[in-house]
Amino acid sequence: MDKNKLLELAFIEWAANFKTSDRKTKDARANFETLFQKWKDLGATFDDTFEPLLPKAIKTHQPTSAVVRNSYNVLDVKKYKTLKEFSDDWNDSIESTAQEVYFEFFQAVPADHDPEPKVFGNMSATEYRAQRRYADQFPELDTRELVKAWREQKPYNPEVDDKLENILDGNKDETNS
Residue 22 shares a structural domain with residue 68: yes
Q: 83-122, pLDDT tens digit by residue?
A: 999 999 999 999 999 999 999 988 876 656 667 777 777 7
Residue 10 shares a structural domain with residue 67: yes
Q: 25-38, pLDDT tens digit by residue?
A: 778 888 899 999 99
Q: Is the pTM of this model over 0.75?
A: no
Residue 12 shares a structural domain with residue 85: yes
If 0-12 CB within 10 Å is exposed, 13-18 middle and 19+ buried, where does residue 53 land?
Answer: buried
Domain count, the chain: 3
**What is the C-alpha to C-alpha distance for residues 89 and 81, in angstroms, rounded to an integer?**
10
Q: 151-163, pLDDT tens digit by residue?
A: 777 666 677 777 7
Residue 73 shares a structural domain with residue 126: no
Length of the chain: 177
Residue 100 shares a structural domain with residue 157: no
Give residues with Cβ within 8 angstroms of 15, minimum separation 6: 57, 60
Residue 149 shares a structural domain with residue 97: no
Q: 39-93, pLDDT tens digit by residue?
A: 989 888 888 888 888 899 999 888 889 988 998 888 888 888 999 999 999 999 9
Residue 100 shares a structural domain with residue 23: yes
Confidence band of 20 (pLDDT split at 50, 70, 90): confident
Residue 35 shares a structural domain with residue 80: yes
Residue 151 shares a structural domain with residue 101: no
Residue 167 shares a structural domain with residue 93: no
Domain of residue 154 covers 144-176
**What is the C-alpha to C-alpha distance for residues 69 and 77, in angstroms, rounded to an integer?**
11
